[in-house]
C-alpha cells in the first residue's frame, strides 16, 4: 500500500541518485521472508513523493546513459589495447625467428604468407618446422656389419641429442653438447631445489604460520590489556573529584527507582546490654532500605555508634589479622606476627574460624571458633531480620587501600 501523494519506482540505484539530489527516498518493503529461524524484509524499489517522480526519472535516465557511454568507451579501449598487444607479439615473434631460427625455405615461405595474408599457417607447417624429418639411407650390403652397427648407434645418439636439443633449447639452437650440459645442470638444480624445499622452505613456512598465529594472539592479548589499563587508569584517577550523580543513596527513599527506606521493625529485639556490648545504636534509631526489583536484599543503616566504628576497625587491623586468623600475607611469610604494622601495604584479606580451602572449595568440619563478639553480632542481626538464631563459624575481612578497587562478584 503506497502512501498518499507518493509513487513506487522500481529503478536500480535510485536511492543513491536521490541522496545526491537531496531528495527524500525510502526503500519499498513488499514482503517479509522467514528463513532458518531468521527473518528479513523483501525490498523492491523505492517510495518517493509524486512531485519528485519526474526529476528522479530524468536524473536516473541521464545517469545510466552516462554509465553506458563509459562502459562502451572502456570496451573500445580494451579492444584496441588487446590488438596492440597482439601486433606487438607477432612482431616480436618475427624478430626472434629471424635472429635464432635457421633461415630455410620453409620458414621464409611461412613468414611471407603471414606478411601477405595469402593463407593461414597450418599446424602441419609449424610441426614440420619444429620437428624436421631425419631420413637415413642404408648403405650397400657389402658394407661391414660391425661398422654399420656402430654408425647406426652413433646416428641414434646424435638424433636423440637433437631431439633433446629441440625440446630444451630449440629457440636458442644449442649444440648437442650444450643441450646435454644444460640438462645435467637442470637435473642437479632440480634435485638441490627439492632438497632445499623439503629441509628449509617447508619448515620455515610452518614456522611462519605459527608466528602469524602467535602474533595474532599477542595482538589480541595486548589490546585487551591496553583497554583494561586505560579503563582502570580512568577510574583510578586522583586528580579529579569523583562524580556521584548516578549513584543512589539508599539511606533515603527513591520511589522512581524502587528504593524504599523506612524505620526498621525487628522481629526479635536485642537487649540493651547486648546493644551496648556490641556498640550498636538503639533499635528505634535503625532504618532499613529495600529495593523492589531486588527482593530479599535488606540494608540496615546507621546501626553502629560513631565511636564503635573505630573499635571495630582497631579489632580488624590488630586482632583479627593475627593468629589464629589467616591472611594473604601468611601465604608468603609463615608464622608472621604484627601483620598490619609490618605488612600493612600487602594486607588484603583475613579469614577467621573455619578457614576456607581455596584449592578444594570447601570448609573443614572442625577448626578454631570465631571471636565471641562476631558470633553475638551475627546472631543479633539474624534474629532481628527474622531469619532465626544463628551461630556463625566462619568469617572473612577484606582490607582496601585508597588505590584498591572493588567490583561485584560471586565467590565460587
pLDDT of residue 235: 63
Query: Residue 52: its pLDDT value, please?
Result: 85
Of 138 and 314, the structure prediction assigns the larger pLDDT to 314
Closest to 286 in 3D by CA, of 307, 312, 267, 259: 267
72 — pLDDT class (breaks 50, 70, 90)? very high
Give me the chain's average pLDDT, please.
78
Average pLDDT over every residue of 6-16: 85
Which residue has better confidence, 228 or 133?
228
Distances (CA, A) of 404 to 5, 251, 401: 65, 25, 5
Each residue's pLDDT tens digit, 316-352: 999 999 988 889 998 888 888 999 999 988 999 999 9
pLDDT at 220: 76
**Is cis: bond before 324, omega within 30 of 0?**
yes
Confidence of residue 145 (pLDDT cuts 50, 70, 90): very low
**Among 104, 82, 85, 81, residue whose Cα is nearest residue 93:** 85
Residue 170: predicted pLDDT? 46
Q: What is the pLDDT of residue 141?
A: 44
Counting Cα atoms < 13 Å in the Cβ hemisphere of 395 gives 21
Q: How far apart are CA 46 and CA 7, in angstroms?
A: 8
Residue 165 burial (CB < 10 Å; 0-12/13-18/19+)?
Answer: buried
Helices in 101-201 by DSSP H: which ranges?
105-116, 123-130, 145-169, 176-196
**Residue 169 predicted with pLDDT over 70:** no
Least confident range of 185-189, 192-196, 284-288, 329-333: 192-196
Amino acid at each position: 500500500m503506497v502512501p498518499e501523494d507518493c509513487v513506487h519506482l522500481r529503478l536500480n540505484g535510485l536511492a543513491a541518485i536521490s541522496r545526491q539530489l537531496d531528495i527524500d527516498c525510502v526503500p519499498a518493503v513488499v514482503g517479509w521472508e522467514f528463513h532458518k529461524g531468521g527473518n528479513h524484509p523483501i525490498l523492491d524499489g523505492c517510495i518517493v513523493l509524486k512531485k519528485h517522480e519526474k526529476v528522479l526519472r530524468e536524473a536516473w535516465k541521464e545517469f545510466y546513459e552516462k554509465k553506458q557511454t563509459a562502459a562502451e568507451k572502456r570496451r573500445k579501449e580494451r579492444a584496441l589495447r588487446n590488438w596492440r598487444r597482439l601486433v606487438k607479439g607477432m612482431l616480436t615473434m618475427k624478430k626472434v625467428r629471424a635472429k635464432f631460427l635457421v633461415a630455410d625455405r620453409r620458414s621464409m615461405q611461412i613468414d611471407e604468407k603471414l606478411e601477405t595474408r595469402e593463407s593461414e599457417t597450418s599446424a602441419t607447417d609449424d610441426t614440420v618446422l619444429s620437428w624436421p624429418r631425419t631420413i637415413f639411407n642404408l648403405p650397400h650390403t657389402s658394407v661391414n656389419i660391425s661398422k654399420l652397427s656402430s654408425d647406426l648407434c652413433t646416428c641414434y645418439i646424435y638424433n636423440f641429442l637433437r631431439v633433446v636439443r629441440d625440446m630444451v633449447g630449440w629457440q636458442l639452437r644449442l649444440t648437442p653438447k650444450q643441450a646435454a650440459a644444460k640438462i645435467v645442470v637442470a637435473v642437479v638444480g632440480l634435485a638441490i631445489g627439492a632438497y632445499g624445499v623439503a629441509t628449509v622452505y617447508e619448515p620455515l613456512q610452518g614456522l611462519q604460520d605459527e608466528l602469524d598465529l602467535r602474533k595474532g594472539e599477542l595482538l589480541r592479548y595486548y589490546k585487551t590489556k591496553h583497554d583494561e589499563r586505560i579503563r582502570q587508569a580512568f577510574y583510578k584517577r586522583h586528580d579529579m573529584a569523583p562524580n556521584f550523580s548516578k549513584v543512589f543513596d539508599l539511606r533515603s527513599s527513591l520511589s522512581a527507582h524502587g528504593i524504599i527506606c523506612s524505620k526498621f521493625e525487628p522481629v526479635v529485639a536485642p537487649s540493651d546490654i547486648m546493644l551496648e556490648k556490641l556498640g550498636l545504636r538503639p533499635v528505634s534509631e535503625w532504618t532499613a532500605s529495600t529495593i523492589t526489583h531486588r527482593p530479599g536484599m535488606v540494608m540496615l543503616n546507621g546501626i553502629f555508634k560513631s565511636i564503635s566504628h573505630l573499635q571495630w576497625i582497631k579489632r580488624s587491623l590488630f586482632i583479627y589479622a593475627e593468629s589464629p586468623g589467616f591472611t594473604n600475607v601468611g601465604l608468603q611469610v609463615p608464622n608472621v606476627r604484627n601483620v598490619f604494622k609490618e605488612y600493612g601495604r600487602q594486607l588484603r584479606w583475613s579469614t577467621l574460624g573455619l578457614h576456607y580451602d581455596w584449592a578444594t572449595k570447601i570448609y573443614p568440619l572442625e577448626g578454631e571458633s570465631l571471636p565471641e563478639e562476631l558470633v553475638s553480632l551475627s546472631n543479633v542481626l539474624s534474629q532481628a531480620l527474622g531469619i532465626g538464631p544463628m551461630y556463625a563459624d566462619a568469617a572473612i575481612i577484606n582490607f582496601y587501600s585508597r588505590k584498591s578497587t572493588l567490583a561485584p562478584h560471586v565467590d565460587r
